[in-house]
Amino acid sequence: MEQGNIITTSEYYELIQKNSQDKNFAGLVGCNLTNVQFKGKHIGGSSINLTKTILSGLDLSEFEFPSVILTEANLNNADLYLARLIYSNLRGALLKNADLRKANLEQADLSNANLTGANLTEANLRGANLTGANLSNSQLINANFCRACLKNVNLSNADLSKANLRGNTPYRLPNNCSLFVELKGANLDGAVLTATIYDDMTIFPLEFDPKAAGAYLIAPGISLEKADLSNMDLSGANLAGANLSKANLTGTNLIQANLNGANLTEATLIFKDKKNIGNIYLEGAILKKATLIGFRPGNTCTYLRGVDLREAKISDVSFEYVDLVGANLSGLQLDGINFSNAKLTGADLSNSSLRGAKFGSATLQGANLKGANISGVKFDNYQIKDAIMPDGSKYEQET
């Protein structure tokens, strides 16, 4: 086929078949695919060579592009909403004004690509190579650039509000991925970084001050009082001892986050997705008057030892398997809450309402239940050894 030749649907799939038989087949290079009626939401196969093809203006939303070669392809104005472009080669591709909202571009090669005016809101660009790419005037709100390479990228007038520019991540990435988010030589003139998050593994241009631009440094002991961290990716973040009082953490990914000793007084923690909860460290954290909704970590080694939850507003919560040794849960409405297999040794549950709560295989040795309403609750002898009972007496094992 000659470059720029408009091909039909049947011709396209004939060439796809040849490509599957010979990975070096280049019969589709430079073809115009704007008249092709793709079958389902799949481009037709993996590792297809679509170099310099024309796909501009097409509806490719939710399409699968497994490791597809799209070097210098024309995808201007294409609809790529929710498209999966993991590992795809988009070097020098034209993506001006493309809709890439929530697209998965993890570890894609977008070096020298033109994304002027593109919408990448909530796109996943973790580990992607954007060296020399043009992202001017683009929408990058809540986009994930964790460990992405942004050297010499043009971000002038781009909106990076609430974008993730952190290097730290608990997710496994190949050894060839940088440990840093590098913005050396990047053009950030007029860029919006309101509530953008970064850490000590983010490298900005020397003359650029991210804090002055409104970005949040994610680090131990930092003050983020009243910060809007909703729907952000804080997985693996180290915020030990940080001041997060009155912060908004609605929908935030806190997998493996270290919040030990953090001040979360009056903070809002609403978990919309169970996948955002596991292995959270909240030992000694202060959650007085906090709002805690949808917290159901299950058997994921979640640590709340010594946490202070007094006056917290709790709903749709399960403490099953959670380590609550020495925690302060006094005066709370905990009716029907699942504490099965939880560790509550020395915990303060005084004056709490625990009607119908489940404590199967939980340990409450030395716990304080003075003034608590435990109607409908049954304990085994071994569970509450040395506990202070609702009437103020110390539990004595029945013989």
Q: What is the pLDDT of residues 136-151, one digit of tens each?
A: 999 999 999 999 999 9
pLDDT band at 274 (very low <50, low <70, confident <90, very high): confident
pLDDT tens digit sequence for 331-354: 999 999 999 999 999 999 999 999
Spatial strand order in the sheet of 313-315 = 268-270, 291-293, 313-315
Closest CA to 151 of 128, 122, 124: 128
Euclidean distance between CA atoms 12 and 1, whole angstroms: 11
Euclidean distance between CA atoms 284 and 289, whole angstroms: 15
> In the predicted model, what is the mean pLDDT of residues 310-315?
96
Whether 355 shows a pLDDT value over 80: the answer reads yes
> In the predicted model, what is the mean pLDDT of residues 369-374?
96
pLDDT tens digit sequence for 82-98: 999 999 999 999 999 99
Euclidean distance between CA atoms 108 and 90, whole angstroms: 7
Higher pLDDT residue, 372 or 16? 372
pLDDT band at 1 (very low <50, low <70, confident <90, very high): very low
> What confidence score (pLDDT) does residue 165 get?
97
> What confidence score (pLDDT) does residue 16 get?
83
> What confidence score (pLDDT) does residue 175 get?
53
How many percent of the chain have pLDDT more than 70?
A: 94
pLDDT tens digit sequence for 164-200: 999 977 665 555 566 789 999 999 999 999 999 999 9
> What confidence score (pLDDT) does residue 28 get?
86
Mean pLDDT of the chain: 92
pLDDT tens digit sequence for 204-253: 999 999 999 999 999 999 999 999 999 999 999 999 999 999 999 999 99
CB 125 within 8 A of CB 104: no
Residues facing 284 on adjacent strands: none
Calculated CA dihedral for residues 153, 156, 162, 165, nearest 10 degrees: 20
pLDDT band at 269 (very low <50, low <70, confident <90, very high): very high
pLDDT band at 2 (very low <50, low <70, confident <90, very high): very low
> In the predicted model, what is the mean pLDDT of residues 38-53?
85
pLDDT tens digit sequence for 108-118: 999 999 999 99
> What confidence score (pLDDT) does residue 42 get?
84
Euclidean distance between CA atoms 26 and 28, whole angstroms: 6
For 40, 44, 65, 84, 187, the CA distances from 68, given in Å and listed in that order, are: 17, 10, 5, 10, 29
Q: Nearest-5° angle of CA 75, CA 81, CA 85?
A: 65
Whether 379 shows a pLDDT value over 90: the answer reads no
